[in-house]
Amino acid sequence: MAKTGTTTQGLRAAIERSGYYPTLVAEAVQAAVGGEPVVSYLVHQETTFDANEVRRHVTVLVLTGTRFIVSHTDEQAADATSPSPYATTSTESVKLGRISSVVLSRVVANPESYTPGQLPREVVLTIGWGAVARLDLEPASCGDPNCDADHGYTGSSTADDLSLRVSEAGDGPDSVRETLAFAQALSEATAATSAR
């Protein structure tokens, strides 16, 4: 389930509609947002299956005039460190100028008959700001199949701070639309910030 909008009251209502520890999630998000007006937001709840357990997770993305705020809340079963189930909530506030990439991948069925405005069946929103990077290395070669010299390594570094997958089948068409709307608002905000 994803919900998007542009007001603080709408954000609170979307968190409550998610039904996932709304008081806990809303308090954490509101503390991070502070007094800034909300430009856009996205609330996305996921349910995952881990062995014999069902786990829920909610991600709240908020765009203000100066910052991108991301909040994650996860629930955990009782374990050796806690005799009762518990939830962990974290928030991160990123200045818009630090966002280095906003990647939106679209999966479209029957691309030969695609029409403008057609809803993708799935979208993956990936946002990078340099907090987490993935490094992929492989042995370098010179192209000579008979060469056995050590040419070191070659690789690439990819910003991968946040990746959010939303599908029409799993989350519904409204969730896909809302993710597209938030991605556009964030892209426009980062473009405006870099132009200053």
Element (H, E) at 27: helix 22-33
Helices (H), 74-172: 168-171
- Over the range 102-138, which residues count as b (16 or more CB within 10 Å of their CB) and which as e? bebeeeeeeeeeeeeeeebebbbbbbbbeeeeeeeee
Q: Please tell me whether residue 104 adopts helix, strand or coil conformation.
A: strand
With a cut of 60, say whether residue 65 has pLDDT above it. Answer: yes
**Which residues on neighbouring strands pair with residue 128, listed in sequence order?**
101
Mean pLDDT of the chain: 87
pTM of the predicted structure, to 2 decimals:
0.81
At 23, is the pLDDT very low, low, confident or very high (cuts 50, 70, 90)? Answer: very high
Kindly report the backbone phi and psi dihedral angles of residue 76, in degrees, each rounded to the nearest multiple of 5, phi listed first.
-130, 145
Q: What is the pLDDT of residue 153?
A: 80
* 102 in Cβ contact with 83 (< 8 Å): no
Kindly report the backbone phi and psi dihedral angles of residue 27, in degrees, each rounded to the nearest multiple of 5, phi listed first.
-65, -45
Q: What is the pLDDT of residue 134?
A: 61
Domain boundaries, the chain: 1-96+173-180
* 64 in Cβ contact with 37 (< 8 Å): yes
At 12, is the pLDDT very low, low, confident or very high (cuts 50, 70, 90)? Answer: very high
CA dist., res. 18 & res. 168, Å (int):
17
Residue type, 128: G
For residue range 68-120, what is the model confidence (pLDDT) as tens digits? Answer: 999 999 988 788 888 898 899 999 999 999 999 999 999 999 999 999 999 99
Give me 148's structure tokens: 């056995």
Question: Picking from 32-36, 38-42, 55-59, which range would have the lowest pLDDT averaged per residue?
Answer: 55-59
Closest CA to 14 of 57, 80, 60, 82: 60
For residue range 129-158, what is the model confidence (pLDDT) as tens digits? Answer: 976 666 677 778 887 888 888 888 877 666
